[in-house]
């Protein structure tokens, strides 16, 4: 998951605040470590590698957008694409959704998101993925980083609102009720 997706899952009441906070911190730490490893590998190239010059895949808008899209275009793109990702995850993992198809739907949506978003911003939809490279690139990447945190979080909030507006009400079984049902089901399987 990513921090924006974690926020959406938290707002949809699928995880608690403590777990959401832990996941977000772990995701950012993982992204920084992954970016450091990529930078280490890139520095092994003949002539070295400069993250501040080459960008290390950092997200950007304006002059730092692959096709020089504006701040407004980049912001709108990140909000909408994150909303689609979070809404897809919430919908495909809903208790009423068919089991076994979530990965396919999420994978296809992620493919579409990247096909659309890479030319515009390098595609974030994930604040951790944006923070990792920005730390090593510095300068412009850190100055533009705010957008790649705010826009995905806004997209996740919108997705959670839409999810609650369109989902069908389903009787929710508490963890305690589910645990109480297990012994009876286990007995039925043996008999």
pLDDT in tens, 32-71: 999 999 999 999 999 889 898 889 999 999 999 999 999 9
Tens-place pLDDT, residues 14-27: 999 999 999 999 99
User: Total structural domains in the chain?
Assistant: 1
pTM of the entire predicted model = 0.84
pLDDT at 177 over 70: yes
Q: H helices of 12-146, where?
A: 17-42, 51-54, 71-92, 102-121, 127-137, 139-144
pLDDT-based confidence at 98, cuts 50/70/90? confident
Residue closest to 97 by CA, chosen among 84, 106, 108? 106
Q: Which are the contacts of 112, defined by CB distance < 8 A and separation ≥ 6?
A: 84
CA triple 152-14-155, angle to 5 deg: 15
More confident residue, 52 or 184: 52
Beta carbons within 8 Å of 123's beta carbon, 6+ residues apart = 59, 81, 113, 114, 117
Task: Give the number of residues written for the chain.
Answer: 191
Q: Which domain holds residue 71?
A: 3-190
Spatial separation of the C-alpha atoms in residues 82 and 87, rounded to whole Å: 8
Q: Kindly report the average pLDDT of the chain as a whole number.
A: 91
Q: What is the pLDDT of residue 144?
A: 97
Please give the pLDDT value at position 19: 95
Question: In this structure, what CATH number is given to the domain that contains residue 143?
Answer: 1.20.1080.10
Q: Is residue 189 pLDDT above 70, yes or no?
A: no
Alpha carbon distance 122, 32 (integer Å): 17
């Amino acid at each position: 998951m990513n921090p924006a997706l974690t926020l959406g899952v938290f707002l949809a009441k699928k995880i608690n605040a403590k777990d959401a906070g832990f996941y977000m911190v772990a995701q950012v730490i993982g992204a920084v470590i992954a970016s450091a490893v990529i930078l280490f590998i890139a520095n092994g190239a003949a002539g070295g590698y400069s993250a501040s010059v080459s960008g290390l895949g950092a997200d950007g808008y304006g002059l730092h957008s692959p096709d020089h899209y504006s701040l407004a275009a980049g912001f709108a793109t990140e909000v909408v694409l994150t909303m689609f990702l979070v809404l897809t995850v919430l919908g495909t993992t809903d208790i009423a959704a068919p089991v076994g198809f979530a990965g396919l739907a999420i994978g296809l949506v992620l493919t579409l998101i990247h096909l659309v978003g890479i030319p515009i911003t390098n595609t974030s939809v994930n604040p951790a993925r944006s923070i990792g490279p920005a730390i090593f690139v510095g300068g412009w990447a850190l100055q533009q980083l705010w957008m790649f945190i705010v826009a995905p979080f806004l997209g996740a909030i919108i997705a959670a609102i839409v999810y609650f507006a369109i989902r069908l009400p389903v009787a929710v079984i508490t963890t305690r009720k589910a645990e109480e049902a297990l012994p009876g089901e286990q007995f039925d399987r043996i008999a």
